[in-house]
Amino acid sequence: MIPMRELVSHSIGGGWGDDLPMDGTEKVAIIRGADFPGVARGDVSTVPLRWESTRKLPQRTLEVGDIVLEGSGGTSDRPTGRTVFISESLLAQFDVPVIPASFCRLMRIDQSKADPHYVYWWLQGMYAEGRTWAYQNRSTGIANFQFQHFLDAEVVRLPRREEQRAIAATLGAIDDKIESNRRATAAGESLVRTIVESALDASEGEDGVLGDYCALVKSQVKVEAIDPAANYIGLEYMPRGSIFLNRWGKAEGLGSNKTAFRRGDLLFGKLRPYFKKVGIAPIDGVCSTDILAVRPKNPRDIALVAAVAASDALIDALSAGSTGTRMPRASWKDLAAWRVPVLTTAERIELSARVDPLVERLTQLTFESHRLAALRDALMPELLSGRLRVPVGTS
């Protein structure tokens, strides 16, 4: 076992730069803690571009194999210390230097001593097991990661180099498959939206509204009646801009009444509708009251209801008309009144035949990714501890 300090050849805090270019600055991409979930999947769409001092860039610019560690943030039930690995494919998506944000830290591993990808997985295991709680303190309500204490106290099991690489490759392959499923879902969703839009544009049906296709679910559940083992979806579980929901938690510890929904319902985030949190529920469960649960009158219309409800035109209109200045909310009344053609029976049958298999297949990819994530999380502590060994070639 080797202290982390012996493996880290370079570390430095990040920066934030300026909104606009100034003398002596250069355009950069800045990875924040909020970007970690997307960046870990190869999605850099949320990473902001800013202007950082050219003088500061040499020490802060990320390279392949670097690790970015979250230094501040966290909540009462989520510690600091999350990490993200900087791969060649990730950096290839940027045409400017990339640096960590000011509340994050660059960690560069001495490759003569350890495989950086293996160390990244060690840090992932450290976080999953809750060891990062020991490396943080709080000041003015903000949790800070005690980096120097971590370097001395965290010790790493280092098997021979070939085994390090095999462990990293095994866990990375599972993550790669999960990412492949995400990309397939994104492509499939684009196809579903295109098919629905084409059907509506070509429809010979009468004028109507979205409420002709669906109704608001009014199944409120008092907090004391909620099964702790029930599935729960809050706004924090809903991705922006995707009609296929892929995350949920358990209802244990909820502190207020919720809405019961069923698989195949549409969940519409009414709080700050411009966040575009709209998606098809893949499971039964309960959701936050900041989410409208909408049920298609005919289950085979779910793709149409989802594509229309998540459309830019509808979201923009609801955002403009939402009530509340600080916390704007959309209403079911306005959602239901959105103008949309009522497809003829023949048109609905044809549309359903085209999109239903796609929706079902993309939903199954969600469940497959959940199973893969569970497999990865079960393998990680066994592989990192040496209790389970991976075959290593002798060539």
DSSP state of 133: G
First to last CA, the chain: 27
In this prediction, residue 395 carries a pLDDT of: 41
Q: How many CB atoms lie within 10 A of CB 70?
A: 25
Q: Which CATH superfamily is domain 188-343 in?
A: DNA methylase specificity domains (3.90.220.20)
Alpha helical stretches, state H, the chain: 36-40, 57-60, 88-91, 116-128, 147-153, 161-201, 302-309, 312-321, 332-336, 345-385
Give the span between the Cα atoms of 104 and 292, in whole angstroms.
36
10-residue mean pLDDT profile of the chain (395 residues): values are 97 96 97 92 90 97 97 81 95 97 97 98 96 81 87 97 97 94 95 98 97 97 96 94 94 95 97 95 97 97 98 94 80 96 96 97 96 96 95 65
Which residue reads 């180099």 in tokens? 161
- Tens digit of each residue's pLDDT (9 = 90 or more) over 182-218: 999 999 999 999 999 999 999 999 999 999 999 999 9
In this prediction, residue 141 carries a pLDDT of: 63
Residue 121 near residue 167, CB atoms below 8 Å: yes
Collapsing DSSP to helix, strand or coil, 6 comes out as: helix
Strand 285-287, strand 231-233: pairing: parallel
Q: What is the CA radius of gyration of the chain?
A: 24
Give the span between the Cα atoms of 247 and 367, in whole angstroms.
10
Give the span between the Cα atoms of 287 and 352, in whole angstroms.
27
Which residue reads 């979930």 in tokens? 37
Give the span between the Cα atoms of 17 and 100, in whole angstroms.
11
Q: Which residues neighbour 299 within 8 Å (Cβ) at sequence distance 6 or greater? A: 264
Q: Which two tokens stand for residue 391?
A: 């075959």
- Find residue 339's DSSP bridge partners: 209
In this prediction, residue 373 carries a pLDDT of: 94
Q: How many CB atoms lie within 10 A of CB 106?
A: 23
Give the span between the Cα atoms of 337 and 212, in whole angstroms.
9
Q: Please state the pTM of the whole predicted model.
A: 0.86
Out of 3.90.226.10, 3.40.50.1820, 3.30.420.40, 3.90.220.20, select the CATH number for domain 2-158. Answer: 3.90.220.20
Q: Domain boundaries in the chain?
A: 2-158, 188-343
Collapsing DSSP to helix, strand or coil, 1 comes out as: coil
Q: Which residues neighbour 88 within 8 Å (Cβ) at sequence distance 6 or greater? A: 64
DSSP H helix total and E strand total for the chain: 10, 21
Same fold, 2-158 and 188-343: yes
Q: Which residues neighbour 359 within 8 Å (Cβ) at sequence distance 6 or greater? A: 192, 280, 302, 303
